[in-house]
Structures are given as structure tokens and as C-alpha cells.
Chain A
Amino acid sequence: MSKTEEKAIIVEHLTKNFEVNVREKGLKGSISSLFSPKKKTVRALKNISFTIKPGELIGFIGPNGAGKTTTLKILSGLLYPTAGFTQVLGFDPWERRPDYLKKIALVMGQKNQLWWDLPAIDTLELNRAIYEIPKREYEETLSELVSILDVKKLLNVAVRRLSLGQRMRLELVAALLHTPQILFLDEPTIGLDLVAQQKVRDFIYEYNRRHGATIIITSHNMDDLIDLAKRVIVIDHGEILFDGDLGELVKQFAKEKIIKVYLSREDDIKGLEKIGKLKKFEFPQAILSVSRETTAVAAAELLQQFAVSDLTIEEEPIEEIIRRVFKGEMRKRKK
């Protein structure tokens, strides 16, 4: 049982299949699917396993349709797993016990729970009653959330009149009113402007620190991941491709290194292109990317053939790696 005490989330051999109706295009397809619907099984998650310790902040990354959101939905008890074992804080999420639901929150950037026609404060009051939060605790949490997210003036405005960024911040208030220990964030910064993104990010960081909450965040926003997550889980086609430190991810998956050279003479650039992929040239600086294996050879060649005043070799930037993850390029490399 000690296993459950030190792990906030346990996922073992989790599999989820969806049955979908396949419809061929056009009218003819619609009609034929009416009479003989074709079913197809989509394997959204294929036997994935991982564990998360209390207080960890984890980034879930992968291209669209990789299975990130499906995992979060299973962990929050919305979807029924096809096979495998999941346990969060000692609960089976699918049972959706009130005691469990009071400890978690799932925030989806594209779904809203605030009552559209009413001021947000009405939804907050409703949530207070639903989660049975004591009055004093409610007031303390509310004032804390309101000040960190800077939404005091927005509480009494009908939700439909708010901008997306304002609404999103209030959504966070509504979702966190019961101070959940586990937080599933699905694209929390989607569609927000840079300032609002930063506010939300700072807030997540702060929430994790202050409450020791366990947080899983999925995002296509590079900064969300780099700023927040130490550990990342890369998922694609329903499989986990990587689970570990963000820094480790770079070491494992960087295909190339970056060589920056400073030339003392403006020479023939074509020669540079023979050595590596020329990413940028602005005399005196040239930036080349070369494959990891040939880095040393390339550097030697550069020194021999050109008048080099300075040369540095760097790792590929993290953004580049993550960008490749989003494109789904990781899978190919691994096999």
C-alpha cells in the first residue's frame, strides 16, 4: 500500500479504444452509411504506463490526436478505460466518488463552465455550494485567486461580455475554488494574448508551489512547457515515447548541433553550405546546423577552410526539439 502513498497518480497498461462510424464522402456515402454503417476501432491509447509523485508538475506533449486529452479525461473519470489500471490519490477515477471529485479539477481551454448569461460570481457561488466549501474558506480562496489572477473587477460582469482572456482567468478561479490537489490542465493558454498567457503561467507555477498540487499540463505553447514543466511525457499515436527530464529530452532527441562561427573575412558562403545546413548568415556571424556525429569533423573543416575568429558548438534549442515532437517526428526516429 505504500506504493499508493508515495504516488499521486498510477497508470498501468492503460488502453482506450473508440468505436467510430466511418462515412464515405458525399451523398452516396451518407446514404450507404445509413443502411450499413461501417464501424472502425480507433486505438487512442495503447498500453501506456507512468506514475507521478505528489507535487510534480508534468508537461504532456505530442502532436494533435496523440492521446493527451484522452489520458486526462480518463484520469478525471470522464471516459471509461478499455483496459488497464488507473489510480489517482488512491481512487479509481471512473467511480467518480464525491470525495475524489472534490480533490481534482480538469480545466480545458476550449470548454467553459461559467454560466454564459450571468456574472461569474453566480457560478462561483454555485460551485461553493456544490463542492460544499465552508463559507470562510471560500472567501479566503476566492480573494486569493481573484488577486493573483487580477479579476476583481470582472466578477460582476455577465460572462458573455468578457474577452476570452478575461473569461479564461475566471474559468481558472471557478475550477480551483475547491483547492484541488490534482490539476489537469488541457491547453490552458490557448487563444490568449501574450500578457494573459504569462499571467496564467505565473499562476500555475505559483499554485503548484503554494499548495504542493500535482499538475499535468498539455500545451502546444512552447513557453508553457519550458517555463513550467521539469518532467515531460511525450506521447504520440497513443504510445509514450519519452518520459523524463526536459533536459534529457534534448540530449536524447537532438539530431543536430549548432555551430556558430565568426568569420574575419567575408568569404564565399557556398563553401559553408557544403559543411552543414546554413541557417543564418549575417557577416561576421554564420550559424550552421550539423548532425551530431559529424560535429567534430565539421568544426575542423571550418577552421581549416575559413578565416575563423571564433567558433562555438551548442545544443539544438529546446524549442526546436519540442517543435519536432509536435510535428510527430519523434516516432520515426525511435524506430
Chain B
Amino acid sequence: MNKYLQVFKISFAQEFAYRVNFIMWRVRNVLQIFLVFFLWSTVFSDPNDIIFGYNRDKILTYVFGILIMKSLVLSSKVVDVSGEISRGDLTNYLLKPVNYFKYWLTRDLSSKALNLGFAVFEFLLLYLVLKPSLYFQTDIIQLAGFSIITLLAIFLFFVLLFIVSFVPFWAPELGWGAQFLIIVVATEFLSGGLFPLDILPSGIQGFLYLTPFPYLIFFPLQVFLGKVTGLALIKGILISISWSLILFYSMKRLWYKGLLVYRAEGR
């Protein structure tokens, strides 16, 4: 275990080596929130309006929720993996008695701890500046459900991103494109990172709920907002667990297949 503790430490040190970069990334997040905040404030100029089942408080809570959820779920260090494979840097890990997944999970958690710390700070700052009226969940069961589904979401995205990162084993030049497709198009859009998914027609929604994507951001927030309860919550957790298992198993399979064709390039 000591191994991964050390990985956690060096990862933290690494983040601080790129201070300016890190700060710019946080600034980008804040600006994005401002943009979405003012957009929805304008749409709901009357606090009593209800559109798609959202009143002003709930939509703003959703928007702030996105800030937190993105730093928890979508800020993953695993984006570096595809580059490591295509450049042949994977070699460094294969030579050592270290588990590549555990290594990256640790790096991921370390980066998440850092990002979450900043997100909470930014949240407080934005809260004081914008003084929005937000919805806070108080029901213990909902909060517990929210925690479980969020942890699952972190794992789900980790595995999903890992699978996409294996593309360079077979097509080194496709790494970036594959990642762009899955991160920007699939996750940002289909996970509810840009707008609440219940705006979409119910047929599409029904289909989306069978994919892993809504369980990354939209579903956890719905749980927090109290819009998904009881059986629906349990069903969601079960689907998320199923996807985690299916994708985890596929990831392992692909990893072994990838290693068979790995070229250890770079020399």
C-alpha cells in the first residue's frame, strides 16, 4: 500500500510544479460557471417560473452542482494514458512491479482531492458574489444515495477513459481523436454537463438511461435534488454498478490484448 501512498505524494508534488497551468484550468471552470449561471438566470427571470420541472433555485443548484461534479468525475488524470501508450512511455511502468491501473487510480484520486479542494473554495467565492438561492438536500437517504452514485460515477469515468486510451495500441495516431470524441462529445453532452438531460424528448431520455453516460453527472445531481428517489434511485445504482462491471471487465480484456501488440516504441 505504501507504493501507492508514494504515488499519491509525488502526484501532488507534480500538480504544484505546474502552478500556473493549474490555476488557468480553475479559472476556466469558474468562467464557464458564470456563463451558464447568467444564461439560466435570464431564462428564469421570474423565480416562480417552472420549466421542465425546474424552478430557478433548482436549476441554479444544478449549475453549481455541475461545477462540483465535473471536478469530481470528469477531471481525470487518465487523459495522459493514451499519450503514454503511443509514445512508448508505458514501458517505464511495465518494467516495474507496479499495477498500472492502481497507479493511475491513485494519481486520479490525488488530482481529484486537489481539484475538489479548489472547487469548494470557488463555490464559496461564487456563492458570496452571486448570492444565489440554492436548494440543499437534507434527507439522509438521498445524501447517502448521492454519495454512492458519485463514487460509482468516478469509477465509471475512470474505466471508460481507460478503455478509450487503449486505442493507440492499435492506432497510435488516433489517440487524440478517440479521446476528443468520448470526452467532449459523449461525456460533456450526454452526461448532462452542459444542460439537464430532462430537457430532451422522453424517448431519447429513455435510451440514454440505458447508457453509462447519465450516471456520470446528471443522475447523481437528480438524486441530490430529490428528483430521483426510492426504486428509481436503486435502479439507477444497479445500472451504474452493472456498467462498472461490464466496462471494468472489458478494460482488463483489452489491456491484455493491447499488451500483445504493444511495440514499446520510442527507440
Q: How far is the CB of B2 from chain A (nearest CB, A)?
A: 5
Return chain A residues, CB-CB under 8 Å to B41: none
Determine whether the beta carbon of A130 is less than 8 Å from that of B6. Answer: yes
Determine whether the beta carbon of A78 is less than 8 Å from that of B260. Answer: no
Name the segment of B89-97, B189-197, B221-229 touching the other chain: B89-97
Q: Nearest CB to that of A77 among chain B residues?
A: B94
Determine whether the beta carbon of A96 is less than 8 Å from that of B263. Answer: no
Determine whether the beta carbon of A79 is less than 8 Å from that of B263. Answer: yes
Determine whether the beta carbon of B96 is less than 8 Å from that of A130. Answer: yes
Number of interface residues of B (CB under 8 A): 27
Determine whether the beta carbon of A118 is less than 8 Å from that of B97. Answer: no
Q: How far is the CB of B9 from chain A (nearest CB, A)?
A: 8
Return chain B residues, CB-CB under 8 Å to A79: 262-264
Determine whether the beta carbon of B95 is less than 8 Å from that of A76. Answer: yes
- Given A96-B94, A106-B95, A130-B98, A117-B18 contact (CB < 8 Å): yes
A80 at the interface (CB under 8 A from B): yes
Return chain B residues, CB-CB under 8 Å to A110: 266-267
Q: How far is the CB of B236 from chain A (nearest CB, A)?
A: 38
B7 at the interface (CB under 8 A from A): yes
Return chain A residues, CB-CB under 8 Å to B94: 77-78, 96
Q: How far is the CB of B60 from chain A (nearest CB, A)?
A: 39
- Given A79-B264, A80-B259, A132-B13 contact (CB < 8 Å): no
Name the segment of A121-129, A230-238, A262-270 touching the other chain: A121-129
A73 at the interface (CB under 8 A from B): yes
| Interface size range of chain A in the complex | 35 or more
Q: How far is the CB of A177 from chain B (nearest CB, A)?
A: 11
Determine whether the beta carbon of B5 is less than 8 Å from that of A129. Answer: yes
B-facing residues in A102-119 (Cβ within 8 Å): 102, 104-106, 108, 110-111, 113, 115, 117-118
B182 at the interface (CB under 8 A from A): no
Determine whether the beta carbon of B14 is less than 8 Å from that of A98. Answer: no
Q: Which secondary structure dominates chain A's binding surface? A: mixed
Return chain A residues, CB-CB under 8 Å to B266: 110-111
Q: How far is the CB of A134 from chain B (nearest CB, A)?
A: 11
B245 at the interface (CB under 8 A from A): no
Determine whether the beta carbon of B10 is less than 8 Å from that of A101. Answer: no
Determine whether the beta carbon of B97 is less than 8 Å from that of A101. Answer: yes
B3 at the interface (CB under 8 A from A): yes
Determine whether the beta carbon of A122 is less than 8 Å from that of B13. Answer: yes
Determine whether the beta carbon of A122 is less than 8 Å from that of B97. Answer: no
Instruction: Pick the residue among A80, A106, A129 that contacts B6 (CB under 8 A).
Output: A129
Q: Nearest CB to that of B96 among chain A residues?
A: A130
- Complex Cα distance, B95 from A115, in Å, reads 16
Instruction: Pick the residue among B10, B91, B263, B267 that contacts A126 (CB under 8 A).
Output: B10
- Complex Cα distance, B262 from A79, in Å, reads 7
- Complex Cα distance, B267 from A18, in Å, reads 15
- Given A73-B264, A79-B262, A129-B91 contact (CB < 8 Å): no
Determine whether the beta carbon of A118 is less than 8 Å from that of B13. Answer: yes
Determine whether the beta carbon of A118 is less than 8 Å from that of B2. Answer: no
- Complex Cα distance, B18 from A117, in Å, reads 8
Determine whether the beta carbon of B17 is less than 8 Å from that of A101. Answer: no
B88 at the interface (CB under 8 A from A): yes
- Given A111-B92, A130-B96, A131-B96, A117-B14 contact (CB < 8 Å): yes
Determine whether the beta carbon of B3 is less than 8 Å from that of A130. Answer: yes
A69 at the interface (CB under 8 A from B): yes
A-facing residues in B147-192 (Cβ within 8 Å): none
Determine whether the beta carbon of B3 is less than 8 Å from that of A118. Answer: no
Instruction: Pick the residue among A18, A105, A118 that contacts B10 (CB under 8 A).
Output: A118
Determine whether the beta carbon of A101 is less than 8 Å from that of B95. Answer: yes
Q: How far is the CB of A250 from chain B (nearest CB, A)?
A: 29
Determine whether the beta carbon of B14 is less than 8 Å from that of A115. Answer: yes
Determine whether the beta carbon of A129 is less than 8 Å from that of B13. Answer: no
Determine whether the beta carbon of B96 is less than 8 Å from that of A118. Answer: no
Return chain B residues, CB-CB under 8 Å to A76: 95
Return chain A residues, CB-CB under 8 Å to B260: 80
- Complex Cα distance, B96 from A115, in Å, reads 15
- Complex Cα distance, B91 from A252, in Å, reads 38
Instruction: Pick the residue among A69, A129, A158 that contacts B3 (CB under 8 A).
Output: A129
Return chain A residues, CB-CB under 8 Å to B14: 115, 117-118
A186 at the interface (CB under 8 A from B): yes
Q: How far is the CB of B157 from chain A (nearest CB, A)?
A: 25
Return chain B residues, CB-CB under 8 Å to A118: 10, 13-14, 17
A residues contacting B by CB (< 8 A) are: 18-19, 69, 73, 76-80, 96, 98, 101-102, 104-106, 108, 110-111, 113, 115, 117-118, 122-123, 125-132, 158, 186
A sample of 15 inter-chain contacts (CB < 8 A) reads A77-B95, A80-B261, A98-B97, A105-B95, A118-B13, A118-B14, A122-B10, A122-B13, A125-B6, A126-B6, A126-B10, A129-B5, A129-B6, A130-B96, A130-B97
With contacts A78-B91, A106-B91, A129-B2 known, what are 14 further pairs, Cβ within 8 A?
A19-B261, A79-B264, A80-B260, A110-B267, A111-B91, A111-B92, A113-B92, A117-B18, A126-B7, A129-B3, A130-B97, A131-B96, A132-B3, A158-B17
Closest 4 CB pairs of A and B: A129-B6, A98-B97, A117-B17, A78-B264
